Amino acid sequence: MKSKYSYFKRDISWLSFNYRVLLEALDEQLPLYERINFISIYSSNLEEFYKIRVADHKAVASGVTQNDEETVQSARELVEEINREVTRQLDDRVFIYEQKILPALRRNHIIFYQDSHHIEDFHKSFIRDYFKEEIFPYLQPVPVAKNKIVSFLRDNRIYLAIRLYLKEYGKDNEGHTTPTEGENNESASRKAHYFVMKQPYAKVPRFIELPSDGTNYYLMFIEDIIKANLPLIFPGYDIDSSYSIKISRDADILIDDDIDSASIVKQVKEKVKKRKIGAVCRFVYNRSMPEDFLDFLVDAFGIHRDELVPGDKHLNMEDLSRLPNPNRLLPRIEKPKPIKLNAFDEKGSIFRYVAKKDLLLYYPYHSFEHFIHFLYEAVHDPNTREIMVTQYRVAENSAVINTLIAAARNGKKVTVFVELKARFDEEHNLATAEMMQRPESKSSTACRG
C-alpha cells in the first residue's frame, strides 16, 4: 500500500538542517566569533557529508557498489540534486560571510584582508618579508601537463592552481635586457604553463596576524600572502591568474560484520590506509576560475564533470574556528563549567554513596572528574576484582584508559570494548586497543568491535 505521506529525501533533508546551522551566523544577538564559528561548523559538516553520504551515492551511480534502496539512475539524480542545493547554499554562505561577518569584524577594528590586491601600503614590506622567511621555504610548485603523470592531490588540502607565461625579452637602446611590450597579454605564440602548489598548513598557520595600526588589527589568509608573492616564486614568468582548488575523497569504511575480531582489525587497518587515496567525491574550485582554466585541470587530473562543485575564493572555511581574535574586548560566549556534585570531594567515597542510593551522571553537564574518581577508587579497592568498560571515542592521553591500565597492573581483570568503527576515529581507537594489549599493560584486554 502506497503511503499517503510525502517525505523529503534523507540527504536533502540533512542539507536543510546544515543550512539552518549556517543561518545561525546571521544572529546578531550572538557574539561575533560565535557567529563565525557557525560558518566553520557548517563547512565541516558539509565536508564529512561529501566524504560519507555523497561518496556512497557516487559508488552506486558508477556501478562500483549496489544498494537495494537506489538504482544507478536514482543515485546519479540524487548526487546532481545535492550539488545543486549545495551550490545554492554557497550564495547564501558567501553573502553572510562577506556582507555580514566581514563588516562586523571591521566595526570591531579587525580588518580581514580578502585578497592580495587591496592591502595597505604599510603592510606590503611585512608581507613580503614574512613570506620569504616563514612560507617560501615550504612551498613546492609542481608543474601540471595534460597526458603526463600529474601530482596526487591529497584529501581536503588546499592547492593553489597557477597559470603563467614565460616572459618575452628584448634589448633597449642601451643594450639592456627588458620585457617586451604586451607581456601580460596571452597570445597564440605564448604557451601557458600550469602549476599546483599545496598550502603548507602544517608549518604555517592558515591565518596570519599582521602589524596593527592604531586601534585597528589586521588578518590575512596564508594563500593571499602567497598570491601576493608569486613573482618571487616564478621569476621569468608573467603570472596570469591563480585560484584555490581542493579534492574531497571517499572516507567511508565498510566492514563485514560477519567476521571475527582479528579479521575486523585487519580490515580496519587496510581501509584506513586507503582512505587517504580514496575515490574522488568532489573537486571544489574557485567559481571565478575561467572556463578554459577549469577545463585544463579537469583533463589533467582526470576529474569527472559530475565531481565538480563550485566554491568561493577561500576554501576549507571550517578553519574559521581557529581565526585569531586580536581584539580582546570582543565578547565570547562563556561556556558553562561542568557541574560538580556537592556530595563528592576528593576524599568522599563514591562506592559508599552508591551503596545507599543510585547515582546518575549527565554528560557533558556533570563533571567527568566524578567518573575518573570512581575508576581510581576501583583501582585501589581490594574488593574490586573486575572492571568492564565500553569506549566509543577515546581521547588522546585518555585519563580513563590510563586509569584502566593502572587497574590491570594492580591485579584487576580489565575488559574494554573499543568500538573500532567510530567514524574518523578508527585509527586512534585501534591504537588504543593495541596499547592496552601490550605486555606492559599486564592483564588489560580490549574487545574490538
Domains of the chain: 7-107 (1.20.58.310), 115-175+188-246+260-323 (3.30.1840.10), 340-445 (3.30.870.10)
User: Does the predicted model carry a pTM greater than 0.95?
Assistant: no
Task: Please give the angle made by the CA atoms of 110, 216 and 22, to the nearest 5 degrees.
Answer: 5
Instruction: Tell me the CB-side half-sphere exposure of residue 449, using CA atoms within 13 A.
Output: 10
Tell me 50's DSSP state. Answer: I
φ, ψ of residue 35 in degrees (nearest 5): -65, -40
In which band, very low, low, confident or very high, does the pLDDT at 428 lie, cut at 50, 70 and 90? low
Widest Cα–Cα separation across the chain: 101
Q: Which residues contact 336 (CB under 8 A, 6 or more apart)?
A: none
Which pLDDT score is estimated for 90?
95
User: Helices marked H in 283-380 — which ranges?
Assistant: 291-301, 350-356, 369-380
As a whole number, mean pLDDT of residues 1-8 equals 67
Q: Please tell me whether residue 339 adopts helix, strand or coil conformation.
A: strand
Residue 183 has pLDDT above 80, yes or no: no
As a whole number, mean pLDDT of residues 75-89 equals 93
Mean pLDDT for the chain overall: 84
Q: What is the pLDDT of residues 276-325, one digit of tens each?
A: 677 888 999 999 999 999 999 999 999 989 899 999 999 999 999 999 99
Which pLDDT score is estimated for 188?
42
Q: Report the alpha-carbon distance of residue 142 to residue 299 in Å, rounded.
A: 16
Q: Which residues contact 234 (CB under 8 A, 6 or more apart)?
A: 141, 162, 164, 195
Which pLDDT score is estimated for 264?
64
Q: Report the alpha-carbon distance of residue 218 to residue 290 in Å, rounded.
A: 30
More confident call, 321 vs 393:
321
As a whole number, mean pLDDT of residues 153-165 equals 93
- Contact between 404 and 414 under an 8 Å Cβ cutoff? The reply is yes
Could you give the C-alpha distances from 173 to 170, 176, 182, 184, 305, in angstroms and in order? Answer: 10, 7, 18, 22, 52
As a whole number, mean pLDDT of residues 162-174 equals 72
Instruction: Name the amino acid, one letter, at 300.
Output: A
- Radius of gyration for the chain, computed over Cα atoms and rounded to the nearest angstrom: 27
Percent of the chain with pLDDT over 70: 81
Q: Report the alpha-carbon distance of residue 113 to residue 127 in Å, rounded.
A: 12
List, in sequence order, every residue forming a beta bridge with 31; answer none if it has no partner.
none
Cell numbers given for 73: 539512475
Which pLDDT score is estimated for 309?
94
Q: Report the alpha-carbon distance of residue 320 to residue 112 in Å, rounded.
A: 12
More confident call, 186 vs 398:
398
Q: Report the alpha-carbon distance of residue 50 to residue 155 in Å, rounded.
A: 12
User: Helices marked H in 175-250 — which ranges?
Assistant: 222-228, 230-233
More confident call, 411 vs 21:
21
10-23 and 72-95 helices, crossing angle to 10°:
10
Could you give the C-alpha distances from 337 to 137, 213, 365, 367, 396, in angstroms and in order? Answer: 43, 36, 8, 8, 21
Q: What is the pLDDT of residues 322-373, one digit of tens each?
A: 999 999 888 777 788 888 887 776 667 888 888 888 888 888 899 888 888 8
Which pLDDT score is estimated for 260?
59
Residue 173 has pLDDT above 60, yes or no: no
In which band, very low, low, confident or very high, does the pLDDT at 261 lie, cut at 50, 70 and 90? low
Residue 21 has pLDDT above 60, yes or no: yes
Q: Please tell me whether residue 91 adopts helix, strand or coil conformation.
A: helix
Which pLDDT score is estimated for 422?
60
Specify which of 48-62, 281-295, 370-384, 433-447 reaches the highest per-range mean pLDDT.
281-295
Q: Which residues contact 264 (CB under 8 A, 6 or more apart)?
A: 255, 256, 420, 448, 449
426-436 and 399-409 helices, crossing angle to 10°:
20
In which band, very low, low, confident or very high, does the pLDDT at 4 lie, cut at 50, 70 and 90? low
